[in-house]
Structure 1
Amino acid sequence: MSFSIMRITFSLLFLATATLARANETSLPLIDTTSGLIRGHSAPNRTCVAEFLGIKYAAAPIGELRFAPPNRFTAPSGAFYEASKWPSGLRVWKNFAAQNNNPSSEDCLALNIWTKGPGISAKKPVLVYFHGGRFTIPGPHSPFFSGQYLADTENVVVITVNYRLGIFGFSGAPGATQNVALLDQRSAVEWVRDNIEGFGGDPSRITIFGQSAGGSSVDYWSFAWREDPIVAGLIPQSGTSLSFLPNTKEYSESLWYNVSQASEASSVLACVRAADVVTILAAAAKVPALPTLALPQATFHPTIDNATVFADYEARAAAGRFARVPMLAGNNDFEAGWYKLSAWAARTNLTEAQWDLYDERAFTCPSSYTTKYRVQHGVPTWRYRYFGDWDNLRLYNGTAGLGPRGSGAYHGSELEMVFGTAQGVSGVKNSPTEDAMSKYMMGAWVAFARDPQRGLLADYAWPRYDPAVYLDASHNKTLI
């Protein structure tokens, strides 16, 4: 065969493949939503899953809407959206790093959906994920949280949510609504409730789950919306309302004044709303954090307003002042395995005993108390502790100079198991045992979402949590 014939043959093959791919994309149904007519595309690694990226659930929080509660987005009649691009929140941070100005990048209030066979009549459970990152680091466009594998393996609808971060979500501005990022999360779930049937989801079986700051968001939800929770299940992973102290009103206001002065703008809200986004980010980055023994506390994060965030979570939990929604909660065996890297970079040295105490105070005890109070008030509750330590996800071993232990089951390492993304994230093939663990955790999370009252018991023989008999498998002692 001559080179010219080969070139023509390969060109025709390429065109045929591209045409088939376009045919597959256009064969996906249009979904009618309050955000317009939405068309997705086949997920890159699970082509039987339809992927919808960047669906707007709220108007761009710019101008008068900067630092304000989200304003529900409603598309004009007949509007069409090709849901093929990630939300623009990531560009805020890329542009900031590059010192480029792009005010439109604040238009980040969007969500992503993965589902098999959208438009079918069967109503599937819905899992809505709130990412972590200390309410500062972007997340839902991360390969760690790609919902295609979970949607394919368990035939559920998976959703990740963009919400405002840092000063844009937690400004502390006097007289302004506080914690608008948590209101973003509420707005996104309301959108899901109103639109998810078109994607094959069941609006009566929405479970919200989140990790770290996202886990705290899930628990906050149960207190803020206890009269109207919308959701049927809660899964806080390595974070609850007791995991860290929220900012006081006075401290958050001091942060706001720090930024408004540093950006050469008046402390008047209207002036800061008119300031350049990159200037605001640069000023916020210079605000000193409260020092702690281990790592500095985040600055712009949840603030006590006694509406969305409260000062007395343990008293409220003890009194049962939360939505009586079933809960699956837990944490990893060695969360500090991740934080040791940040401490090393900051030249902070702690003993192994101090790191164990860090784990207990920030993760194990909050999970213990949060679940204990649920049990005391008759809420169906399950608790886990994750011990996975896999070759392709290990950050370092015991010879790396970070102590005698390796990274172990570090903070966030369970996420690749739940989302099924370990091999894609690491680029290294999973072991058979790792695959089995991922399959188990995917199935368990979805069993809970399918039937939060008894799914884990029925499908996995996983008994409800009982603080009186639960044993720590690694230390053979009752967890506090």
Structure 2
Amino acid sequence: MIFPVPILLFGLCNTAIARSLHRSVVQTSNGDIIGHSSDKYLNVVEYLGIPYAAPPVGELRFEPPQTYKGGPKYVASHYVSLPSLCFSMLRFWLPMNIDHDCPYVVGSTIDYPNKTPQFDKIMSTFTSSNNNSHSEDCLTLNIWSKQTYNDTLKPVLVHFHGGRWTSGTTNTPFYHGANFASAEDIVVVTATYRMNIFGFPGIPGKLSNLGLLDQRKAVEWVRDNIQAFGGDPSRIVMSGQSCGSAAADYWAYSYRDDPVVAGLISHSGTTDSFPANSPELSAQHWEELTSLMGCESGDVLGCMKRQNATALLTASSKIKPPVTSSAARTQPAFQPTVDNMTVFSDYGLLSKTGRFAHLVSCRIHKIPGVKLTVCHQPYLAGHNHNEAGFYKISAWAKGSTLPESEWQAFNKETFTCPTDDAVMARIRAGVPAWRFRYFADWNNTRLYPTSGAYHGVELNMIFGNSEAVTDIPESAYQVQLQKKMQRAWAAFVADPHHGLEKLGWPHFSLNGVFSLNGSNVKIQSNSN
């Protein structure tokens, strides 16, 4: 239950913080958290920058996430843009939690040929080149929930951003959850996690995939606290895009006996989209970095924990990345490592034997003389028609111009075929699964004349923020498709087993795939 609490503030700030006059206080394991009404969607309360783990700084750098000890009552207002005087007054009244992006190397502006007027704004918001502050004290999450006046709990979507394991943030219009929470009766959660050298250091003899462990910690925090925000802890669905999408697929294998979540959604990425590092390769990268930092002997880990974060990032960018199958399929040096706990070496074998997560809520199948209980974790996965439309930009910026045939091969090798394989593995194991392919190419989200349905563009349909991203209004057809997609995703979150069936979505098969193309939603033959 969410309880509105009026707050008396000084008259000087009345205009700037009018929406803050009606606030909401919830009790969590962190202590009391004060949210506020969203700027545009006044029926939605947002809580921003909530710590879900102890700051991974000092001795906690390169360590698994630790439990946050809690603190005083604070205002969760990370996205609030107020005059500095108003901030000072609010800080005087209550501590204010202003979080940061996890450290990453910020990209530069790209002067791509024939780019559209909105190109720079889209790229800066999607690739995290938006002048946010950075800090290792960054393990926070954000919650958007409609104000509730009864005890009915809502299903919960927890989404993890992409960024090729090297960059990314929740503090961008792409991932602002107020529109989705307002349009559908769900609670929307986004969370940050450690990336690059801080999230995937590959230290020999230690846990390697800290960023994935951060995600687990965030989901556990949601499970333990979301009821205070009107969410149902038994109906949590994990979603991700790009590397966040691969993380959702990893999850099904990593937490088979205690998945916490009731379903998984993958947007453009699976366990096989980008190969993980071997332990040997990650150890080599770590040793090269320690040498660059002057920490190659003695207390190596202690020395690395004392290094300046920016210096670590700069040095880590000099480590040669893994060799890949093509120039289009580049990967970073510091990324997930096979540890056979969070990341496995042979997903083909695991999928063939149906080693997916088991759920607490199961379905009972009655066979004559036998009552069989089967536990499944439903899966919704898909990709965009021209994922390469985005990847071509970074390749061009590095001086690489590849033939179209190689980009088409990249689309299939990295997204189309791995998505098919992941969904079909579920189908063979009796797990409910659906697959989508997004084709839409809108004027206001186009990057250049032939960018098409590029990597990440479908997020505008789910979070409903294309106008905020581009400053260009959506078309009527665009709004129509957005509503259809939000309805479908919310239906899956509410009921991963049957929600999409109720909307007419068939289970995926080798003969068909749901396509999302402009104003049309249809089944077409799966020829790829």
Check whether TM > 0.5. Answer: yes
Q: Work out the CA distance in 2 between the residues paired with 1:16 and 1:358.
A: 58
The answer on whether the counterparts of 2:162 and 2:241 sit within 8 Å (CA) in structure 1 is: yes
Q: 1:357-404, CA deviations, whole angstroms, 9 ceiling, x for partnerless residues? A: 11000000000000001001111111100001000000101xxxxxxx
The equivalent of 2:479 in structure 1 is 435
Taking a change above 3 Å as real, the CA distance of residues 187 and 120 of structure 1, as seen in their structure-2 partners, is farther
Offset, 1:119: 7.4
The answer on whether the counterparts of 2:103 and 2:195 sit within 8 Å (CA) in structure 1 is: no
Task: Please say if 1:334 is aligned against 2:386.
Answer: yes
Q: Work out the CA distance in 1 between the residues paired with 2:351 and 2:105.
A: 40
Read off the aligned partner of 2:256 and give its amino acid letter.
R
Q: Describe how 1:188-203 pairs up with structure 2 within 5 A.
A: 188-203=218-233
The equivalent of 1:88 in structure 2 is 99
The equivalent of 1:63 in structure 2 is 58
Offset, 1:90: 2.3
The answer on whether the counterparts of 1:471 and 1:478 sit within 8 Å (CA) in structure 2 is: no
Q: Work out the CA distance in 1 between the residues paired with 2:157 and 2:400.
A: 38
Deviates more, 1:252-261 or 1:262-271: 262-271
Taking a change above 3 Å as real, the CA distance of residues 469 and 445 of structure 1, as seen in their structure-2 partners, is closer
Q: 1:446 aligns with which of 486, 490, 506?
A: 490
Q: Describe how 1:352-391 pairs up with structure 2 within 5 A.
A: 352-391=404-443
Taking a change above 3 Å as real, the CA distance of residues 31 and 435 of structure 1, as seen in their structure-2 partners, is same
Deviates more, 1:229-238 or 1:291-300: 291-300
SS state at 2:413 partner: helix
Compute the RMSD of aligned alpha carbons: 2.4
Read off the aligned partner of 1:31 and give its amino acid letter.
V
The answer on whether the counterparts of 2:234 and 2:261 sit within 8 Å (CA) in structure 1 is: yes
The equivalent of 2:91 in structure 1 is none
Taking a change above 3 Å as real, the CA distance of residues 111 and 118 of structure 1, as seen in their structure-2 partners, is farther
SS state at 1:29 partner: strand
The equivalent of 1:123 in structure 2 is 153
* Runs (5+) with no aligned partner, structure 1: 1-14, 98-102, 398-405
Task: Please say if 1:465 is aligned against 2:511.
Answer: no
Deviates more, 1:60-69 or 1:112-121: 112-121
Offset, 1:16: 6.8
The answer on whether the counterparts of 2:440 and 2:516 sit within 8 Å (CA) in structure 1 is: no
Taking a change above 3 Å as real, the CA distance of residues 80 and 350 of structure 1, as seen in their structure-2 partners, is same
Task: Please say if 1:417 is aligned against 2:461.
Answer: yes
Read off the aligned partner of 2:321 and give its amino acid letter.
A
Taking a change above 3 Å as real, the CA distance of residues 349 and 27 of structure 1, as seen in their structure-2 partners, is closer
Q: Work out the CA distance in 1 between the residues paired with 2:524 and 2:483.
A: 27
The answer on whether the counterparts of 2:102 and 2:169 sit within 8 Å (CA) in structure 1 is: no
Q: Describe how 1:31-430 pairs up with structure 2 within 5 A.
A: 31-76=26-71, 79-85=72-78, 88-90=99-101, 92-93=103-104, 105-117=135-147, 120-266=150-296, 268-292=300-324, 293-295=326-328, 296-323=330-357, 324-397=376-449, 406-430=450-474
Taking a change above 3 Å as real, the CA distance of residues 473 and 19 of structure 1, as seen in their structure-2 partners, is closer
When normalised by structure 2's length, the TM-score is: 0.81
How many residues are matched? Answer: 451
Q: Work out the CA distance in 1 between the residues paired with 2:439 and 2:165.
A: 26
Deviates more, 1:115-124 or 1:19-28: 19-28
Q: 1:140-174, CA deviations, whole angstroms, 9 ceiling, x for partnerless residues? A: 11111100100011121101101001010000111
Q: Work out the CA distance in 2 between the residues paired with 1:331 and 1:253.
A: 32
The answer on whether the counterparts of 2:435 and 2:514 sit within 8 Å (CA) in structure 1 is: no
The answer on whether the counterparts of 1:29 and 1:118 sit within 8 Å (CA) in structure 2 is: no
SS state at 1:40 partner: strand
Q: Work out the CA distance in 2 between the residues paired with 1:241 and 1:381.
A: 16
Read off the aligned partner of 2:347 and give its amino acid letter.
Y
* Runs (5+) with no aligned partner, structure 2: 1-9, 80-97, 109-132, 358-375, 518-522
The answer on whether the counterparts of 2:437 and 2:513 sit within 8 Å (CA) in structure 1 is: no
Q: Work out the CA distance in 2 between the residues paired with 1:212 and 1:24.
A: 34
Q: Work out the CA distance in 2 between the residues paired with 1:334 and 1:353.
A: 13
Q: 1:231-289, CA deviations, whole angstroms, 9 ceiling, x for partnerless residues? A: 01100010011111100001101111111111122352121112121221111111122
Q: Work out the CA distance in 2 between the residues paired with 1:115 and 1:473.
A: 27
The answer on whether the counterparts of 2:44 and 2:178 sit within 8 Å (CA) in structure 1 is: yes
Deviates more, 1:237-246 or 1:114-123: 114-123
Q: Work out the CA distance in 2 between the residues paired with 1:21 and 1:450.
A: 36
Offset, 1:354: 1.4
Q: 1:169-213, CA deviations, whole angstroms, 9 ceiling, x for partnerless residues? A: 000111221101100000000000000001000001101111100
Q: Work out the CA distance in 2 between the residues paired with 1:244 and 1:92.
A: 22
Offset, 1:215: 0.3
The answer on whether the counterparts of 1:289 and 1:299 sit within 8 Å (CA) in structure 2 is: yes
Taking a change above 3 Å as real, the CA distance of residues 472 and 51 of structure 1, as seen in their structure-2 partners, is closer
SS state at 2:238 partner: strand
Q: 1:444-476, CA deviations, whole angstroms, 9 ceiling, x for partnerless residues? A: 100100111101111x21111122444889997
Q: Work out the CA distance in 2 between the residues paired with 1:247 and 1:218.
A: 18
The answer on whether the counterparts of 1:133 and 1:213 sit within 8 Å (CA) in structure 2 is: yes
Read off the aligned partner of 1:49 and give its amino acid letter.
V
When normalised by structure 1's length, the TM-score is: 0.89
Offset, 1:314: 1.4
The answer on whether the counterparts of 1:119 and 1:199 sit within 8 Å (CA) in structure 2 is: no
Deviates more, 1:430-439 or 1:27-36: 27-36
Q: Work out the CA distance in 1 between the residues paired with 2:453 and 2:41.
A: 28
Read off the aligned partner of 1:88 and give its amino acid letter.
D
The answer on whether the counterparts of 1:243 and 1:361 sit within 8 Å (CA) in structure 2 is: yes
Offset, 1:294: 2.2
The answer on whether the counterparts of 1:338 and 1:407 sit within 8 Å (CA) in structure 2 is: yes
The answer on whether the counterparts of 1:368 and 1:479 sit within 8 Å (CA) in structure 2 is: no
SS state at 1:111 partner: strand
The equivalent of 2:526 in structure 1 is 478
Read off the aligned partner of 1:151 and give its amino acid letter.
A
The answer on whether the counterparts of 2:436 and 2:513 sit within 8 Å (CA) in structure 1 is: no
SS state at 1:463 partner: coil
Q: Work out the CA distance in 2 between the residues paired with 1:275 and 1:344.
A: 33
SS state at 2:287 partner: helix
Q: Work out the CA distance in 2 between the residues paired with 1:230 and 1:286.
A: 38
